[in-house]
Structure formats: C-alpha cells, structure tokens
Amino acid sequence: MEESSDIDRLLGDQREPRLSRSCSLTDLPATLIWLDRTLAVFPIPGGHRSLGWLHLLRAHVLRQLDDADGSMISAAAAQTVFSQLGEQRGLAAVQKDRPRVDVELERYSLRIAVPTMRPPSAAGVHVSLLGGFSVVVNGRAVEDRWRLRKAKMLVKLLALAPGHRLHRDSVVDRL
Amino acid sequence: MAANNLHQIVHTIRRMLGTESITLTDDVVWLCPAGGLTVDVDVFERAAAAARSSGDITTLQLALQLWTGPLLPEDQYADWADRASGATRRNPCRCRKLCSAPSS
C-alpha cells in the first residue's frame, strides 16, 4: 500500500519526533500531542489521520518490542487510544476511517484482543483462572453449577496444560 | 479413577460448554481442539514475557493490567494446580519490580 510505505519511510527518518521510551501510551494527552506533532510534520496522504495514528502507534510499540507478541500490546494500546480519540475528537471523525483501520489491523495481525477489552458477544470459549475460575462461551457466562466437581477441575487442568491437552493417564492420575 | 468416569466427566463438560469444547481421542483429552479457546493466563504470560524482554515501562504496565488476581485462589492448596502455577505466580512480581526500576 502506497500510504504505508510512505509512513514506513517517514518513520525511518531521523527528523521524526519520536515518542520517548519512557513516555507511556496510557498517558493519553502526551500521546495525542506526539501524534499531532508528528502528523503535522509528515501529513498522511489522503488525510486519513486515524490511519496515520495507527501506523505510528504500531511502529512505536513494535520498534520497542522487536517481538511478535508486541502485536498484542500494540492492539491494547491502539484500542485504548482509539476509544479515547472517539470521546475527545468526536466519534464520527474516527468512524469515518474505521473500515481502513480494520484492514490495517488485520494486515498487521493486531486482532489479538485483550480479554477485558473483548466485546461480550465474542465467539469462542474464554477461561479465566486469575482471581478465580469462570468460563464465558460465545459471550455468555457459564453458571457455576457443575454437576461433577471433577468436570470443573478438568477444565482448569486443561486450561493450564501446554497446548490445552493431556494424556488420559495423566488426567486420571491427577483427578 | 475408572475409565468410564472420565467419559462421564467429558460428557458433563460438553453439556456445560458445548459439544465441540472437549474431545477424548486416541487417549488424549483436549480442550477446544478446533481452536477458539482463550485462557487469561496465556494472554498474561505472553504479555509478561514480551514486556520483560523489552524492559519497556509501557508494555510492563499493559502486561500488569492483564493480571486480575492470583491464580485459582480457591485451589491454591491443590496438588494438581501447584505444578503449573509456579511461573504464573512469579511473573507479576517480576513485572512490578521492572516497573519500579528506572527506565533506560
């Protein structure tokens, strides 16, 4: 994509006002000032400011992490900043770029959502073990009415097991 | 535990979580073999590992936001829970220590 190569080139430019390593993306005012300043110096072709913000956030976080798992962190950071942008700058302006932003999120595999940020309708099985046991299936919390105590125990055991699987002998030994 | 007991347990889980939530095939018990499973511990562990390798304060803070409490507090004395939980219990302490250290 022409715009992304432009952005990548700009990010390699030493003149780019980089967000300092100690600046937290959760410090929204500082992040917005940095984004605005950067985009004022390097305008995004086509004027897609949200897309520009996304590129800059991604590049900033991934540059620090240099790790595939960075996509998860940058997804969390990008989601936080985008939801705040919606409140501060008017949702309509951000929503205008939403389809393009979604394409970019997909492209950079940034769709690894953080459980607390998942919409309640998210498909799949979500097992929580931190702070207590709970299961959500396709957005619905499973009632804690396990007819067999060992069934609940087996779900916990498999959730903690590497690859979420165990040999039956190992299960029989532990239950 | 008898073999047919395990089948009964697997059946109970299918009824609670859905027919494709667990399989017992070729002597392997597998939770959500077709995918679609998210475990908060996995998400936290990945975030903590990435944050610790970078040493960056932002990513450490984001990783700590995923720590919503101790692992299975109701099972803390259970033998089976003990084996898997060591690293998970140590990780938030490590992240907090790194957060309070001056960033480079």
Binning pLDDT at 50, 70 and 90, where does residue B15 land?
Answer: very high
Over residues A119-126, mean pLDDT: 62
Q: What is the pLDDT at residue A107? A: 53
Res B25 pLDDT > 90: yes
Residue to substitute from A160, A166, A172, A173, interface B, most B β-carbons within 10 A: A160
For residues A130 and A113, membership in a common domain is answered with no
For residues A91 and A67, membership in a common domain is answered with yes
Mark which of A117, A147, A163 sits at the end of a domain: A117
Is B76 or B72 the better-scoring residue by pLDDT?
B72
Q: Which residues of B touch A116 (CB under 8 A)?
A: 65-66, 68
Give the span between the Cα atoms of A114 and A134, in whole angstroms. 16
Coil, helix or strand for B53? helix
Over residues A81-102, mean pLDDT: 56
Res A50 pLDDT > 70: no
B70/A125 Cβ within 8 A: no
For residues A80 and A132, membership in a common domain is answered with no
Radius of gyration of chain B, Cα coordinates, nearest whole angstrom = 18
Q: What is the pLDDT at residue A152? A: 94
For residues A16 and A89, membership in a common domain is answered with yes
B13 and chain A in contact, CB less than 8 A: yes
Give the span between the Cα atoms of A52 and A41, in whole angstroms. 12
Asked if B10 and B30 touch (Cβ cutoff 8 Å), the reply is no
For residues A20 and A67, membership in a common domain is answered with yes
For residues A21 and A84, membership in a common domain is answered with yes
Over residues B24-37, mean pLDDT: 92
Which of A108, A88, A91 has the alpha carbon at shortest distance from A33?
A88
- Tens of pLDDT, residue by residue over A123-154, are 688 898 888 899 988 878 888 888 888 999 99
Q: What global pTM score does this model have? A: 0.56
B58/A61 Cβ within 8 A: yes
Domain count, chain A: 2
Give the span between the Cα atoms of A72 and B39, in whole angstroms. 14
Q: Which residue of A has its CA nearest to B12?
A: A151
DSSP B34: T
B50/A72 Cβ within 8 A: yes
For residues A160 and A77, membership in a common domain is answered with no
A65/B56 Cβ within 8 A: yes
Res A170 pLDDT > 50: yes
Domain boundaries, chain B: 1-35, 40-100
Domain range holding A142?
A: 125-174
